[in-house]
Amino acid sequence: MNPSGSTHPLPRVRPTPAHQPWCAGGLGLMLSMTLSACSSAGTPSLQAAAQDAPALKSGFLSDQLDSAPAPVNGWGPVERDRANGDDAAGDGPPLSLSGVSFTKGLGVHANSELSFVLDGRCSRFRASVGVDDSVRVGGKYNARGISSLTFTVYAGTARLFDSGVMTEKSSTQTVDVAIPADARTLRLVVGDGGNWIGYDHGDWANARVECSVPTPVPTPAPAPAPAPTPKNVAYRGVSAAMWSEIDARASQFGDPHNCHARVDRIPGSGLTISPGDGNAISAALGRSNTVVLKGGTYRISDTVDLSGKTLVGAPGEDVVIDGRDVLMAVRMGQGGTLSNVRIIDTRNVGIELGSGGTAYRVSVARTGRSGRASGYLSTNGRAFVRANDDSRNNCVVSTEARDSYNDRRYDGTLDGVTDQGGNGDGYVVSSSTIIDSYAYNNSDDGFDFWESKESNYVYFSEAFEGGKSPLGFPNPTGKSGDGNGFKLGRGDQVHYIYKSRGFNNKQSGFTLNSNTGWPVIMGSEAFGNEMRDWDGLPGNTRGL
């Protein structure tokens, strides 16, 4: 409108229904101020703008006017918290309807349309609507009774509210409508009442929406890294970089066993047999110094003796030796080699190491599972043991010893790798080199050097979950194993431990026990053990 004249000019262009930019049917829920006949197809440019606009939040629309895409107003700008005025923003009078002033709302001029984006959280729209008092008779613009308007609220093409024609004599109407949850745009339309747009100043007083506040998704604090508990880790392998470190430390420690070269010399071919009669292994070893086992399970009834022999699993195949019928699965003897094999369920000992033997990529699991069978005095379940005091110079590389236990006696002598001959251990070692090997879930200790007569050398190995009753069997009070990761003996031997870890054991990660030789422990870790991490040792690393 033009406040300087007595007549209100028409807009420069009177839009026809085909060109009305406020026709935006299909945009979802809208508050609309229009009476013109709009196409239900809507305006593509307005739809595109609505897609990029932010969604409404709970509160007054005048505070969110900037989020209305492509607002349309018949004269001047849409006013925020003021009635419509002339060409400049903020030049309108205060909002007033039927003598009641409002501090919040939107002042518009027909024909007008405002669209707001919804995201499904707004549930209600409320407002007071009518012809602003400034164009009533005696008002600022004194329209002399020619003002007429319609107010409409749309949800897409669905009409939620229609005021009908309102004039300066009409009472203020209250809008209170529910917003459908699936509505995506709120459309306000004001029309001209059918008698052109002169002096058609309308108010959406106290226009507001009620919306739920999204439940914030808290950003969780970074959880502490759990203690590693790898399973079936026997075939991790030793990288070239690890071998380089091992070779350098072996020279420094005086490690005489030269395991790197011995592993490289393991043959990959020989007399090949397939699963069937488990005793075929011993028969084949009687005919050839090297026997290759094809994938499958070999249930043996006699201990396999490898003295001076090599027994290897075919590359890439799962080879299992089932020892449920024997006290000891494999006796390495003098210079025996075992590679790429899994040994399970032996009654007493998985592997007995003699002298000069090599165990590479070997897993021993569930030794002692059968309990004390008739005629056997002791079946305690160990994975690796040594044969006697002359056992030495063995290489144990990329192996695992796990789940050693006795399901009847709970004798507390159920180690993974030990130097105590017999009585249910997995591997027995003395004066041996252990590389990339893992002893876990054994009822007693992981690596037990209690009776070692000479030094052992351990590189890149782990002992965890010791003394914790594997596979759910109870350990009665006074009958459970100690549960140390590394038990370092009772004589004066100097054992060498490099970059190894003892964790999550029932007692200690590393225990000096009664060893007076003072071990060398370098670059190693102990953590998460129930009693102490370092027992009798002042620190987590010891230099030469």
CATH of the domain at 527: 2.160.20.10
Domain tally for the chain?
Answer: 2
| Token output for 118 | 């919804």
194 and 272 inside one domain: no
In a domain, 235, yes or no: no
User: In the prediction, which pLDDT does 478 show?
Assistant: 39
* Chain CA centroid to CA 466, Å: 28
**Interatomic CA distance for residues 96 and 118, integer angstroms:** 28
- 452 in the same domain as 344: yes
The domain containing residue 353 runs over which residues?
240-473+480-535
Closest to 405 in 3D by CA, of 355, 451, 454, 441: 441
Is residue 39, in this structure, part of any structural domain at all? yes
pLDDT for 329 beyond 80 = yes
Do 387 and 321 share a structural domain? yes
Provide the pLDDT for residue 442.
80
- Are 475 and 499 within 8 A, CB to CB? no
CB 30 within 8 A of CB 204: no
Please tell me whether residues 187 and 129 are part of one structural domain: yes
Q: Compute the average pLDDT of residues 157-173.
A: 91
Q: Which residue has the tokens 């075929």?
A: 280
Please, which residues bridge with residue 32 across strands?
152
> Which two tokens mark 65?
């006017």
- Going 263 to 384 to 458 to 250, the CA torsion angle's sign is negative
- For the chain, the helix, strand and coil percentages under 3-state DSSP, each to the nearest 5: 10, 35, 55
Report in angstroms the alpha-carbon separations of 463 from 8, 49, 68, 439. 92, 63, 65, 5
Give the model's confidence band at 420: pLDDT under 50 very low, under 70 low, under 90 confident, else very high.
low
pLDDT value for 37: 31
| Dist CA 537 CA 519 (whole Å) | 9
In angstroms, the Cα distances linking 132 to 9, 50, 64 are 18, 28, 21
**Is 223 inside any structural domain?**
no
Residues 207 and 348 both lie in one domain: no
Report the alpha-carbon distance of residue 455 to residue 451 in Å, rounded. 11
Residues 508-514 have a mean pLDDT of 88
149 and 276 part of one domain: no
What average pLDDT does the structure give for the chain? 77
Q: What is the mean pLDDT of the segment spanning 278-291? A: 90
Percent of the chain with pLDDT over 70: 73
Sign, CA torsion 262/268/269/271: positive
Element (H, E) at 491: none
Question: What is the per-residue pLDDT across 82-123, written as a single tens digit (0 to 9) for each?
Answer: 999 888 888 899 999 999 999 999 999 999 999 998 888 899
Question: What pLDDT is stored for residue 293 in this prediction?
Answer: 94
* pLDDT grade for 450, boundaries at 50, 70 and 90: confident
Is 5 part of a structural domain of the chain? no
Computed from CA positions of residues 323, 233, 405, 435, in that sequence, does the dihedral angle turn out positive or negative? positive
Question: Are 247 and 130 in a shared domain?
Answer: no
Q: Give pTM, 2 decimals.
A: 0.55
Residue 441 domain flag = yes
Q: Taking the chain, what is the end-to-end CA distance rounded to the nearest angstrom?
A: 95
pLDDT band at 413 (very low <50, low <70, confident <90, very high): low
Same domain, 418 and 363: yes
- Please tell me whether residues 199 and 334 are part of one structural domain: no
Q: Considering only CA atoms, give the Rg of the chain.
A: 44
Q: Which residues pair with 341 in a beta bridge?
A: 362
3-class SS of residue 516 = coil
Residues 6+ apart with CB under 8 A from 290: 267, 269, 270, 271, 309, 310, 311, 312
The structure tokens 């506040």 sit at 213
Whether residues 132 and 268 fall in one domain: no
In sequence order, the β-bridge partners of residue 210 are 124
